[in-house]
Amino acid sequence: MTAAAHVVQWGRTPIPFAIRRSGRKKTVSIAVEPGGDVVVTAPKATGVERLHRLVREKARWIVQHRRLTEDLEPAPAREFISGETFLYRGRQHRLVVTSHAGAPEVKLEHGRFVVRLPRSARAAARPVLVNAAMVSWYRRHAERMLPAQVAACARSLGLSSVPVQIVAQQKRWASCTSAGCVRMNWRLVQAPPRLVEYVVMHELTHLRIPSHGEAFWRALGRALPGYEMRRDELRRLGPRLTW
């Protein structure tokens, strides 16, 4: 996929956006990503003038969603030292970094993340080792939990088996491919289960309706009544999950 920068004017408000071309995509979709970037994904043959027109038509929705992302407070930078807290399934756990004779390991013990590093690890290298160990721990749990959540939600919608891939994305919680595979961001295991369910149902609805048009939101509302509250909660929580 390639991206290109464009801008349209909505009243006095400029709306910059990127166009991503995909040979697999059959319809146009518009997304406001967690950082506020607007991305239009379109088939290769779709004319630029049509994409500009679609952005203008969705301008009110785009501006509202960008304001929501701008109101979010940035999360403090992680130091990966004892005393910090990390989320798992919506609950906060304090980090304790200690040493032992073996390789780096992470365990969730008595409500705390305990990271054990080799005694030989240099002080300057310890935060990097803690970061890597925590990411590995979260990914292992994501690989176990997220496919199970997708399978449960798929059954509730009457869908057959849906393949799942665990990925690391900075600006997306999930996506789906034209082949019907759902890609889930490992960072989601930090969020409460109700927010994970929203992301999963969102992507499963996309398997039937690729674009973010009215038909898509109506279908999602039928599948998950009150999804708007979960979507807004995830938007507020998001900065804390993207370390």
pLDDT digits (tens, 9 = 90+) for 64-92: 878 766 666 667 789 999 999 999 999 99
Give the pLDDT band of residue 37 (cuts 50, 70, 90): confident
Q: How far apart are CA 125 and CA 104, in angstroms?
A: 12
Q: Does residue 1 register a pLDDT over 90? A: no
Q: Which two tokens stand for residue 7?
A: 């801008």
Q: Does residue 4 register a pLDDT over 70? A: no
- CATH, range 85-241: 3.30.2010.10
Average pLDDT over all residues of the chain:
91
184 contact partners, CB below 8 Å, separation of at least 6: 142, 146, 147, 150, 164, 165, 166, 167, 173, 174, 199, 200, 203
Quote the pLDDT of residue 22: 81
User: pTM for this one?
Assistant: 0.74
| Three-state DSSP class for residue 54 | helix
Give the pLDDT band of residue 28 (cuts 50, 70, 90): confident
Max intra-chain CA distance, the chain: 64
> Where in the chain are the domains?
2-70, 85-241
Q: How far apart are CA 84 and CA 97, in angstroms?
A: 10
